[in-house]
Amino acid sequence: MKIRRLASSDNNDLFEIYNFPSLLENTSQLPFLNAEIVENLFNSPDNYTLVVESQSRVVGHITIFLKNKIREKHGASIAIAVHPDSHGKGVGKMLMLEAINQADNWLNLVRLELEVHADNLAAISLYKHVGFEIEGTKKLSAFKSGKYLDVHMMSRIRPDYLAK
């Protein structure tokens, strides 16, 4: 497996990832996304998307959504997705660690943030493992499987910044 920057030729693989209902239920997207919507989610000059390639196909991505507001440029939000066939194989951890490396050492970011459904225990465990903490909970914030559920807001502050 190798990590690299998103290329336009990866759009079909991303489209395949986002066609799994089990993946989409943990996002803010609706099922049955078309290829154009998936492409537009990640292809922007304000985004920094990395992918994991395995056997010549993309099996996961992480996108760092950079902020444009002057007083928020020190932070970014992230989104991650891993092909269901690659769950439990270290792809998510690999992507999270590289996004943190890019944020700390290349993008000059102090704060990374994300939102996660409170019932997505595997994702929450991963995020905590790489240094994210729950900052708060938005009660009944998302609708999934016919009911409302809570969403945790999580963040990671660059450790060397906290030490100052």
Cβ–Cβ < 8 Å for 30, 12: no
88 to each of 91, 124, 132, how far by Cα in Å? Answer: 8, 14, 19
Provide the 10 A C-beta neighbour count for residue 94.
18
Give per-residue pLDDT as tens, 125-148: 999 999 999 999 999 999 998 999
Pairing state between β 75-82 and 57-66: antiparallel
Give per-residue pLDDT as tens, 95-105: 999 999 999 99
Write the single-letter amino acid at 5.
R
Whether pLDDT at 40 is above 70? yes
DSSP class of residue 97? H
Block residue for tokens 């790489």: 130
**Domains of the chain with CATH codes:** 2-162 (3.40.630.30)
What pLDDT score was predicted for residue 98?
97
